[in-house]
């Protein structure tokens, strides 16, 4: 699936055996976005010409030349991926520390907000700390993990209490929708001013 | 990006069959233009400032130019052969470089993945060696002896066959494909891609065909070609960068891409760079 | 059963897809919608004065609304697709069938504008399309929390087929699907159903086939 990183768009994928990988979202052959590709076994293939890449980014197969072993120089840039607690983390370059763990929380959904973190903070009435924003809506606390995508867009991951029941989780999802509406209104107002 | 060397070329701007006195507002290389039928029945094309632009009707389309064409529109002698059915496929807009649209048309290696079970299918993915040249006399790019296994090569084809192709690029945004013609061995079906550059990253594509096929209803022929082109469209709108990179370090061609290599070299040699990116960004 | 069909129309595709999924053979009558505007011609206007396609004909029955075609095909061949088991399920199916018309009016119109140069206020259409996609995403997230993979139930219904085509083809109209992970999962589940067929703009799920043994030196 497509995702964003500070180093540009990435194609995020998981091998059949369950290992996650993040590639620059561009096939080096003809520039097609790899996030449109397909996963067979341990490889990701480009939808355009079927060039297949291993998790390390090296090209394994060029279907137009089935007898050819692709040279090692054909490769896609990869980024470091950590897969923990239901959240996939990407780091550009070697990470200094492992990603944080959120004890007692389960990831519920990810949503794109057309607003920056400042507008989200204003909408929630609290400040984000360590990328986490606590939001209380109708006496219900929701915890949001924020990943900025530029100044005016934020990828917001909704975290719910690990022990919450389906009704509470649905309520948390709806609370996040409300927060997004308010934050986007604030962001639009900010542009109008 | 310069557009100077391409400005004197001819470009398709309308279907001839849809030309009327009311007119069609469109654009050519960033300039708004109007295309209509004049009182004398000929096509009239006017530019942004109201100036009259060159116009001609050929191969089912109205052609025009923002500049001063030094040559008449390229010839397709087969188009005048008796017995062919001429197929107006109609326009499809694509958010991509006009040059990327042509390059994709010259490519066969994508057939099994993009035109699955029609123009190609796994495991028949191999592209055999073929011949590519820039013909100096005509100043055109040609690829010949191109062969590919196809499950359903044309609307009239029954079952899989190895199809032979020739590709020809007579102008930077136009390409002609000659393809084995199942009902008439020895003749070639003609399938063209005429591209109208609206902007460097936006084009109207006008496929057109001249076929030996007396059996297939016209609508089926149109739908077959629209199917093929719209399958390509989602690829073309997702290539990065949107402009065609002429910097050799930017993309990695293989032997299967020799037509595209020659096409890019020919574009560069002539300075046909409207819709191209010269250096990596 | 005869379907007046245009190969690039997502509404026509709904009928083709439903028929394929429930195993009904359709007699396809291609209509030159573009560039010929045959749907506005005398023969088709006589059949459907609204001047739209698809049109499904079965004996005396003439249907011109794609949701009605889905219901008819399901009722004839595979009634479990109707989702009539409970009052709640029947209502949810109707809810999404009605919702699907908003997808046609927004994403469908944006696609016609961007691809086939039909008139329209593209910014407004794309904005309405995005709003509809957000609703669908939220609905699918809630279904996922309930342990259900499809729009109205844990099995596919006509509601899924009514919504799938215009959603899957949203990028044709310049509306990205990148922000919607639940839609992505749902879409892949539908594309993996037995009997699923594609239309131009929706690629084959090549991952469903194992890596083939390459053929070398053919031709």
Rounded to the nearest angstrom, the minimum Cα separation between B175 and chain C is: 21
User: Among B127, B128, B259, which residue's Cα sits nearest to residue A63?
Assistant: B127
Of C31, C115, C204, the CB nearest to B219: C31
User: Among B57, B114, C68, which residue's Cα sits nearest to residue A46?
Assistant: B114
Under DSSP, the state recorded for C24 is: P
Residue A38 to residue C178, Cβ atoms within 8 A: no
User: Among C21, C22, C29, which residue's Cα sits nearest to residue C1?
Assistant: C29
Residue spans per domain, chain C: 2-79, 83-191
Under DSSP, the state recorded for C105 is: I
User: Among A55, A74, A77, A56, which residue's Cα sits nearest to residue A64?
Assistant: A74
Please tell me the total count of domains within chain B: 2
User: Among C20, C7, C9, which residue's Cα sits nearest to residue C77?
Assistant: C20
DSSP bridge pairs for A38: A45
Q: In chain A, which residue ranges form alpha helices assigned H by DSSP?
A: 117-124, 166-192
Domain end call among A50, A68, A91: A91
Give the C-alpha separation, C161 to C189, whole Å. Answer: 12
- The 10s digit of each residue's pLDDT in A24-49 is 999 999 999 999 999 999 999 999 99
Pairing outcome for strands C61-63 and C27-30: unpaired
CATH architecture, range C83-191? Up-down Bundle (1.20)
- Give the CATH number, domain containing residue A26: 2.102.10.10
User: Same domain for A121 and A40?
Assistant: no
User: Chain B within 8 Å of C4 (Cβ-Cβ)?
Assistant: no
User: Chain A within 8 Å of B261 (Cβ-Cβ)?
Assistant: no
Q: Is residue A26 part of a domain?
A: yes
User: What residue in A sits closest to B242 (Cα-Cα)?
Assistant: A31
Q: Is the pLDDT of residue A53 over 60?
A: yes
What is the end-to-end Cα distance of chain A in Å, rounded? 36
User: Among B106, B99, B105, which residue's Cα sits nearest to residue B130?
Assistant: B106
Query: Which residues in chain A (57-86) have CB-CB distances under 8 A to chain B?
Result: 62-66, 68, 74
User: Chain A within 8 Å of B199 (Cβ-Cβ)?
Assistant: no
Residue A193 — very low, low, confident or very high, per pLDDT cuts 50/70/90?
very low
Helix (H, G, I), strand (E, B) or coil at C142: helix
User: Same domain for A67 and A45?
Assistant: yes
Q: Is residue A78 part of a domain?
A: yes
Residue C116 to residue B233, Cβ atoms within 8 A: no
Q: Is the pLDDT of residue B3 over 90?
A: no
Q: Which long-range contacts (CB under 8 A, 24 or more apart) does A11-16 make?
A: A11/A35, A11/A37, A11/A44, A12/A81, A12/A88, A12/A90, A13/A37, A13/A39, A13/A44, A14/A39, A15/A39, A15/A41, A15/A42, A15/A43, A15/A55, A16/A40, A16/A41, A16/A42
Total residue count of chain A as it appears in this document? 193
User: Same domain for B184 and B207?
Assistant: yes
Q: Is the pLDDT of residue A111 over 60?
A: yes
User: Among A101, A114, A109, which residue's Cα sits nearest to residue A154?
Assistant: A114
User: Same domain for A122 and A79?
Assistant: no
Residue B92 to residue C200, Cβ atoms within 8 A: no
Supply the pLDDT for residue A92.
Answer: 85
Give the neighbours of chain A: at least 3 Cβ pairs within 8 Å: B, C
Helix (H, G, I), strand (E, B) or coil at B24: strand
Give the C-alpha separation, B13 to B16, whole Å. Answer: 9
Measured CA to CA in angstroms, residue B212 lies from B189, B194, B216 at distances of: 6, 20, 10
**Cis bond leading into B123, ω under 30°?**
yes
Q: Is the pLDDT of residue B202 over 80?
A: yes
User: Same domain for B102 and B44?
Assistant: no
Tens digit of pLDDT per residue, chain C (219 long)?
Answer: 999 999 999 999 999 999 999 999 999 999 999 999 999 999 999 999 999 999 999 999 999 999 999 999 999 999 999 999 999 999 999 999 999 999 999 999 999 999 999 999 999 999 999 999 999 999 999 999 999 999 999 999 999 999 999 999 999 999 999 999 999 999 999 999 999 999 999 999 999 988 888 887 765
Enclosing domain of residue B17: 1-73
- The 10s digit of each residue's pLDDT in B134-155 is 999 999 999 999 999 988 766 6
- Is residue B147 within 8 A of residue B165, CB to CB? The reply is yes
Residue B238 to residue A65, Cβ atoms within 8 A: no
Q: Is residue A99 part of a domain?
A: no
Mean pLDDT score, B9-22: 95
Residues of A whose CB is below 8 A from B114: 47-48
**Geometric angle at alpha carbon B71, from B70 and B77, rounded to 5°:** 175
User: Among B12, B118, B9, which residue's Cα sits nearest to residue B70?
Assistant: B9
Pairing outcome for strands B244-245 and B276-277: parallel
User: Same domain for B36 and B110?
Assistant: no
B241-273 burial code (b ≥16 CB/10 A, e <16): bbbbbbeeeebbebebbbbbebbbebbeeeebb
Give the C-alpha separation, C175 to B95, whole Å. Answer: 12
Query: Which residues in chain B (64-123) have CB-CB distances under 8 A to chain A?
Result: 109-110, 112-114, 122
Supply the pLDDT for residue B157.
Answer: 66
User: Chain B within 8 Å of C20 (Cβ-Cβ)?
Assistant: no
B180 burial (CB, 10 Å; 0-12 / 13-18 / 19+) is buried
- The 10s digit of each residue's pLDDT in B90-119 is 999 999 999 999 999 999 999 999 999 999
Rounded to the nearest angstrom, the minimum Cα separation between A112 and chain C is: 6
User: Same domain for B69 and B128?
Assistant: no
Enclosing domain of residue A6: 2-91
Quick count: other Cβ atoms within 10 Å of Cβ B134? Answer: 15
Rounded to the nearest angstrom, the minimum Cα separation between B249 and chain A is: 10
Supply the pLDDT for residue A192.
Answer: 43
Give the C-alpha separation, A55 to A52, whole Å. Answer: 10
Give the neighbours of chain C: at least 3 Cβ pairs within 8 Å: A, B
Helix (H, G, I), strand (E, B) or coil at C55: strand
The answer for residues whose C-beta is within 8 angstroms of residue C22's C-beta and 6 or more apart is C73, C74, C76, C77, C78, C81, C195
User: Same domain for A82 and A145?
Assistant: no
User: Chain A within 8 Å of B235 (Cβ-Cβ)?
Assistant: yes
Q: What is the CATH number of domain C2-79?
A: 3.40.30.10
User: Chain C within 8 Å of B257 (Cβ-Cβ)?
Assistant: no
Supply the pLDDT for residue C218.
Answer: 64
Residues of A whose CB is below 8 A from C209: 40
- Give the CATH number, domain containing residue B38: 2.20.25.680
- The 10s digit of each residue's pLDDT in B214-231 is 999 999 999 999 999 999
Q: Is residue A32 part of a domain?
A: yes
Of C32, C201, C203, the CB nearest to B222: C32
Supply the pLDDT for residue B1.
Answer: 45
User: What residue in C sits closest to A2 (Cα-Cα)?
Assistant: C178
- Is residue C123 within 8 A of residue C101, CB to CB? The reply is no
Q: Is the pLDDT of residue B31 over 60?
A: yes
User: B60 is written with which tokens?
Assistant: 């089912």
Give the C-alpha separation, B135 to A58, whole Å. Answer: 37
Q: In A104-165, which residue ranges form alpha helices assigned H by DSSP?
A: 117-124
User: Same domain for B57 and B108?
Assistant: no
User: Same domain for B101 and B48?
Assistant: no
B204 burial (CB, 10 Å; 0-12 / 13-18 / 19+) is buried
Q: Which residues of C touch A (CB under 8 A)?
A: 134, 137-138, 141-142, 145-147, 178-179, 181-182, 184, 203, 205-207, 209-211, 214-217
C199 burial (CB, 10 Å; 0-12 / 13-18 / 19+) is buried
Give the C-alpha separation, B275 to B98, whole Å. Answer: 6
Supply the pLDDT for residue A137.
Answer: 81
User: Same domain for A54 and A132?
Assistant: no
- The 10s digit of each residue's pLDDT in A135-179 is 988 777 899 999 999 889 999 999 999 999 999 999 999 999 999
C-alpha count within 13 angstroms, C-beta hemisphere, residue C15? 29
Give the C-alpha separation, C106 to C103, whole Å. Answer: 5
């Amino acid at each position: 699936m497509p995702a964003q990183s500070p180093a540009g768009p990435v194609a995020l994928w998981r091998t059949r055996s369950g290992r996650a990988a993040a590639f620059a979202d561009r096939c080096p052959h003809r520039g097609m976005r790899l996030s449109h590709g397909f996963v067979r076994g341990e490889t990701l293939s480009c939808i355009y010409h079927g060039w297949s890449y291993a998790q390390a980014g090296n090209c394994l197969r060029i279907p137009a030349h089935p007898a050819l072993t692709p040279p090692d120089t054909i490769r896609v840039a990869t980024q470091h991926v950590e897969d923990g607690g239901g959240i996939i983390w990407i780091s550009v370059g070697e990470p200094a520390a492992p990603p944080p763990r959120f004890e007692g929380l389960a990831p519920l959904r990810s949503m794109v907000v057309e607003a920056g973190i400042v507008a989200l903070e204003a909408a929630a009435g609290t400040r984000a700390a360590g990328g986490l924003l606590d939001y209380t809506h109708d006496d219900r606390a929701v915890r949001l993990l924020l990943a900025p995508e530029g100044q005016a867009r934020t990828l917001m991951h909704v975290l719910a209490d690990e022990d919450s029941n389906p009704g509470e989780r649905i309520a948390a999802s709806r609370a996040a929708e409300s927060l997004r509406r308010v934050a986007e209104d604030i962001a639009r107002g900010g542009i109008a001013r | 990006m310069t557009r100077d060397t391409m400005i004197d070329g001819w470009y398709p701007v309308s279907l001839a069959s849809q030309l009327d006195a009311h007119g069609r507002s469109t654009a050519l290389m960033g300039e708004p233009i109007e295309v209509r039928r004049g009182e004398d029945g000929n096509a009239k094309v006017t530019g942004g400032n109201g100036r009259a632009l060159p116009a001609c009707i050929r191969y089912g389309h109205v052609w025009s130019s923002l500049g001063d064409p030094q040559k008449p529109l390229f010839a397709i002698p087969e188009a005048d052969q008796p017995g062919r059915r001429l197929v107006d496929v109609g326009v499809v807009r694509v958010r991509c470089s006009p040059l990327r649209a042509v390059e994709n048309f010259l490519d066969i290696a994508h057939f099994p993945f993009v035109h699955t079970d029609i123009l190609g299918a796994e495991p028949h993915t191999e592209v055999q060696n073929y011949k590519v040249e820039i013909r100096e006399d005509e100043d055109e790019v040609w690829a010949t002896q191109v062969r590919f296994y196809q499950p359903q090569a044309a609307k009239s084809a029954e079952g899989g066959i190895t199809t032979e192709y020739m590709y020809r690029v007579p102008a930077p945004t136009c390409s002609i494909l000659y393809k084995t013609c199942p009902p008439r061995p020895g003749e070639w079906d003609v399938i063209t891609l005429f591209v109208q550059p609206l902007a460097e990253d936006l084009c109207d594509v006008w496929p057109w065909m001249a076929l030996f096929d007396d059996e297939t209803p016209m609508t089926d022929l149109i739908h077959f070609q629209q199917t093929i082109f719209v399958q390509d469209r989602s690829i073309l709108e997702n290539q990065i960068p949107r402009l065609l990179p002429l910097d050799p370090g930017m993309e990695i061609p293989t032997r299967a891409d020799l037509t595209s290599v020659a096409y890019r070299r020919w574009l560069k040699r002539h300075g046909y760079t409207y819709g191209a990116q010269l250096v990596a960004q | 059963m005869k379907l007046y069909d245009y190969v690039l129309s997502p509404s026509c595709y709904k009928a083709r897809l439903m028929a394929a999924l429930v195993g009904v053979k359709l007699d396809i009558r291609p209509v030159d919608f573009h560039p010929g505007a045959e749907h506005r011609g005398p023969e088709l206007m006589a059949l459907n004065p609204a001047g739209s396609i698809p049109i499904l004909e079965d004996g005396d029955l003439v249907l011109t609304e794609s949701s009605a075609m889905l219901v008819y095909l399901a009722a004839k061949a595979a009634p479990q697709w109707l989702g009539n088991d409970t009052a709640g399920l029947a209502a949810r199916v109707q809810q999404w069938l009605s919702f699907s018309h908003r997808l046609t009016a927004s994403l469908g119109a944006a696609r016609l504008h961007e691809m086939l140069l039909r008139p329209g206020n593209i910014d407004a259409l794309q904005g309405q399309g995005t709003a509809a996609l957000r609703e669908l995403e939220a609905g699918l997230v809630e279904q996922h929390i309930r342990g259900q993979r499809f729009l109205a139930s844990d099995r596919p219904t006509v509601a899924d087929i009514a919504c799938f085509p215009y959603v899957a083809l949203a990028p044709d109209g310049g509306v990205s699907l990148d922000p919607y992970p639940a839609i992505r999962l749902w879409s892949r589940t539908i594309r993996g159903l037995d009997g699923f067929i594609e239309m131009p703009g929706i690629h084959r799920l090549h991952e469903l086939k194992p890596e083939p043994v390459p053929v070398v030196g053919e031709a």
